[in-house]
C-alpha cells in the first residue's frame, strides 16, 4: 500500500502540473516496485521505491522529453508522501 500511495501521489502532482502547463494527458500508467529489505535496526522496511510511469499526451500542445522530465522532477519534489518516508524514490519514465 505504501508503494501504491507514493505512485498515486506522484501521478496526481504530475497530472496537476501538466494541466497547469496546458498539456492534455490522455493516459498515465505506472508499474511501481518497492523493495522490502532488512534495516540497520534489524527489522524489515521499504528501503526504495521505483516508479515507472508511462504517459501519453493528446491535443495540439505536447511536451518534449525535457519538459516531461521537468514535470516529473516537480511532481517528485512536491509529493508529500515521498517527502514523508525515508525510502529512496527513483523515477524511470519513458
Encode pLDDT of 33-53 as tens digits: 999 999 888 899 999 999 999
On whether the 2-91 domain is CATH 3.40.50.2000, my answer is no
pLDDT for the residue numbered 25: 97
Q: Which helix (H) or strand (E) holds 19?
A: helix 2-20
Distance of alpha carbon 1 from alpha carbon 36, whole angstroms: 12
Q: Please give the distance of CA 36 from its chain centroid, rounded to a whole number.
A: 19
Give yes or no for a contact between 16 and 59, defined as CB atoms under 8 angstroms apart: no
**Mean pLDDT on 8-31:** 97
Q: How confident is the model at residue 93 (pLDDT cuts 50, 70, 90)?
A: confident
Q: Where are the domains of the chain?
A: 2-91
Distance from C-alpha of 33 to C-alpha of 52, rounded to nearest angstrom: 8
pTM above 0.75, yes or no: yes
Q: So what's the pLDDT on residue 94?
A: 67
Q: What is the mean pLDDT of residues 59-66?
A: 95
Amino acid at each position: 500500500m505504501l508503494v501504491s500511495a507514493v505512485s498515486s501521489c506522484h501521478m496526481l502532482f504530475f497530472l496537476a502540473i501538466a494541466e497547469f502547463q496546458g498539456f492534455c494527458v490522455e493516459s498515465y500508467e505506472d508499474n511501481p516496485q518497492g523493495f522490502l529489505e532488512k534495516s540497520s535496526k534489524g527489522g524489515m522496511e521499504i528501503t526504495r521505491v521505483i516508479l515507472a510511469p508511462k504517459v501519453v499526451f493528446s491535443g495540439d500542445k505536447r511536451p518534449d522529453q525535457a519538459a516531461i522530465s521537468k514535470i516529473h522532477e516537480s511532481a517528485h519534489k512536491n509529493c508529500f508522501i515521498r517527502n514523508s518516508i525515508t525510502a529512496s524514490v527513483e523515477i524511470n519514465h519513458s
